[in-house]
Amino acid sequence: MTIRILIADDHALLRGGIKQIIAATHDLRVIAEAATSTQVLKLCHEHTADLLLLDLTMPGMNGIELLQRLRNEHPGLPILILSMSNEKQIVRHAIKAGAAGYLTKDVHPEVLLTAIRKVARGGRFVDPALVETMMFPDAAGDTDVPPHELLSEREFQILKLLIAGHKINDIANQLNLSPKTVSTYKLRLMQKLDIDNNADLIRYAIRQNISPDLPNLEQYLSSEQAPADRYL
C-alpha cells in the first residue's frame, strides 16, 4: 500500500529535496505541500493523507498550537515533526502535544524514510541522535533539568511570547484567553522559574537559548533608556 504524505515546510528547497528522496521509493508518495500553517489546515481538510511531515516554525500559528489543533481536528492523522531544533524541551512539548515522531533536518535520508514508514503505520519514532540526550541526561553531562522544561505547553508558549516582547493583552488576543488568565499563567511560570521580574525573565531566556532569534537585550535592559513596562 502506498503511503500518502503531506509535506509542510516554508522552505521550497527543503520540500524539493524531500520529494526527490521520496520519489526514489516504491511505497511513498507526496500528495500535497504547504508553506504556512493556514495552508496546512486547509490541505489536511482537502486531502486524505497517511502522514503529515510537519515543520514547527512556519509562518502563521505557533508550531505547538498548530500541532494541538491538528490533533483535535484530525486525531487519526500521524504527524512526524521535521525541525531544525534539537532542544529537549521542544522535542518533549511536541511529543506531548501529539506528534508521533520527531526528527532533526540533518537526519540521514534512510532514517527519514524509516521514520515515515513507522509513524504512518501507527508507530512512534524519535531521531536516534536525540534519544540518548532525552532519556539519559547523565550521558550527555546534563544532570540538572532546566526549570523551563517543567513548564506546561501553555506556560512555555506564553513564556516565548513574553520574551518576544508581547504584552499581556496582546497574548490574550492571540491565544483567545482573558488577560486575567494570561496573567495567572505568567505568575505560575515565573514561580516555577524562580524569577520575580521581567528583566530577569528575559535574561533567563537568553542564557537558556530558548528563543534563538531574541535580540541582544542584556545591554538594552541594563541601560537607562529601557522602558520599565516594555516586557509586561
Q: In this model, does residue 222 exceed pLDDT 50?
A: no
Q: Which residue type does 199 have?
A: A
CA atoms within 13 A on the CB side of 172: 13
**Can you read off the three cell numbers belonging to residue 176?**
483567545
The alpha helices in 101-193, defined as continuous H runs, are 109-120, 128-135, 153-163, 168-175, 179-193
What pLDDT, on the 0 to 100 scale, is given for residue 225? 39
Burial classification of residue 187, based on how many CB atoms lie within 10 Å of its CB (0-12 exposed, 13-18 middle, 19 or more buried): exposed
Query: Tens of pLDDT along 91-132?
Result: 888 888 889 999 999 999 999 999 999 999 999 999 887 876
Looking only at the bridges linking them, the beta strands covering 79-83 and 28-34 are unpaired
Question: Confidence class of residue 82 from pLDDT cuts 50, 70 and 90?
Answer: very high
Give the C-alpha distances (Å, rounded to integers) separating 120 from 43, 95, 207.
Answer: 18, 15, 38
pLDDT in tens, 15-38: 999 999 999 999 999 999 999 999
Ordered structural domains, the chain, with CATH: 3-138 (3.40.50.2300), 147-222 (3.40.50.2300)
pLDDT of residue 200: 87
What span, in angstroms and rounded, lies between the C-alpha atoms of 198 and 201?
5
Burial class of residue 209 in the structure, from the number of CB atoms within 10 Å of its CB (0-12 exposed, 13-18 middle, 19+ buried): exposed
Band the pLDDT of 144: cuts 50, 70, 90. low
- Report DSSP state, residue 59: S
C-alpha distance across the termini of the chain, in Å: 53
